[in-house]
Amino acid sequence: MPAARAPETSWRDSATGYLFLAPWLIGFFGLTLGPALVSLYLSFTDYDLLSNPRWVGAANYVRIATSDPKFSAAMHVTFLYVALSVPFKLAFALLVAMMLNRGLRGLPLYRAIFYLPSLIGASVAVSVLWRQVFAGDGLLNQALKLVGIHGPSWISNPDTALYTLVALAVWQFGSPMIIFLAGLRQIPKDVYEAAEIDGASRNQQFWRITLPLLTPVLFFNLVVQTIDAFKAFTPAFIISGGTGGPIDATLFYTLYLYQEAFAYFRMGYASALAWVLVVIIAAFTALSFLSSRYWVHYDG
């Protein structure tokens, strides 16, 4: 048999394969791998685009770790943002998905309405709108006035600015909701029927059936949304006018990186910041995958 058959992959097949793959390969080496290596090198240098990069060893990383108050501020803001926006967003998404999964009439309409903010959420227009909703004389305070409360300017108050961004993220719970909904559909109805016969309460059904069977979807949403939250940029940029203010209250990590690179042209330092972000995201992802053994049920 083996002698009669041509080898599975002749050089001709391989050549064809690589031809199809050529655009991606050029992009991979030229725009992904190459630049990633260059940025790793730059992170050990001082580089302002004008003169040649000057090797400084680990100085950039040392400064990040020990003596950069802006970095600490950005970390604080970003972690707070991730820690608040992701759980709330997923909780809303799951709650609404479970309501919608009960065969309600008008499901497509509800689903469309809840999905719309996710679709348009990345636009500058939505960030602009958000700025006006939470401004001193904005929509929220107009509504609060009706019940006799004089709200502050949420955007320009350092204590509340970040929460307006969290609200913006939670407002976009539509796409994880759709994924939850697809996951809920996969759970066979007879499991619930059996549980009901056994006298399981709704509460028990949720904790013993729905949630465990949904953990793979929950895991997926958690990882994707967290990585996304770490990378958030546009809303903070628009709402703070590019400054990350007031008093660094909305200085997202990516915004700080942008300022270092494209406002001050400290390309070496910004590259180090980028690699620290990679390490943070990788560590989080690895942690999720490691912990998933204990809480994600794949055997349905």
Partner 1 sequence: MVDLATQDEVSPPRNRGGRTLLYHVVLCLASIAMLYPLLWMLASSFKPDSDIFGDASLLPRHFSLAAYWRGWSGLQVTFGQFFLNSLVVSLCSVVGNVMSCSLAAYAFARLKFRGQKFWFALMLGTLMLPYHVTLIPQYILFLNLDWVDTFLPLIVPKFLAVDAFFIFLLVQFFRSIPRELDEAAMIDGCGPWRIYWIVILPLSIPALATAAIFTFIWTWDDFFGPLIYLNDMNSYTVQLGLRSFVDSTGKSDWGALFAMSTLTLLPLFVFFLFFQRLLIDGIATTGLKG
Give the closest residue to 126 by CA, choosing from 169, 82, 176, 77: 169
Residues in the interface with partner 1 (CB under 8 A) total: 95
| Among the listed residues 65, 83, 91, 125, the single contact to partner 1 using CB under 8 A | 125
| Among the listed residues 64, 162, 214, 238, the single contact to partner 1 using CB under 8 A | 238
| Among the listed residues 61, 88, 115, 284, the single contact to partner 1 using CB under 8 A | 115
Tell me the C-alpha distance between 290 and 300, whole Å.
19
Query: Are the C-beta atoms of residues 249 and 162 closer than 8 Å to each other?
Result: yes
65 near partner 1 (CB under 8 A): no
Contacts of partner 1 in 157-176 (CB under 8 A): 171, 174-175
Tell me the C-alpha distance between 209 and 191, whole Å.
8
267 near partner 1 (CB under 8 A): yes
119 near partner 1 (CB under 8 A): yes
Residue 90, CA distances (Å) to 47, 140, 145, 221 in order: 41, 24, 31, 8
118 near partner 1 (CB under 8 A): yes
Q: What are phi and psi of 175, to 5 degrees?
A: -75, -40
Q: How far is the CB of 23 from partner 1 (least distance, A)?
A: 4
Contacts of partner 1 in 70-99 (CB under 8 A): 96, 99
Tell me the C-alpha distance between 234 and 120, whole Å.
12
Query: Are the C-beta atoms of residues 239 and 165 closer than 8 Å to each other?
Result: yes
210 near partner 1 (CB under 8 A): no
Q: How far is the CB of 253 from partner 1 (least distance, A)?
A: 9
Per CB under 8 A, the segment of 17-25, 63-71, 78-86, 288-296 that binds partner 1 is: 17-25
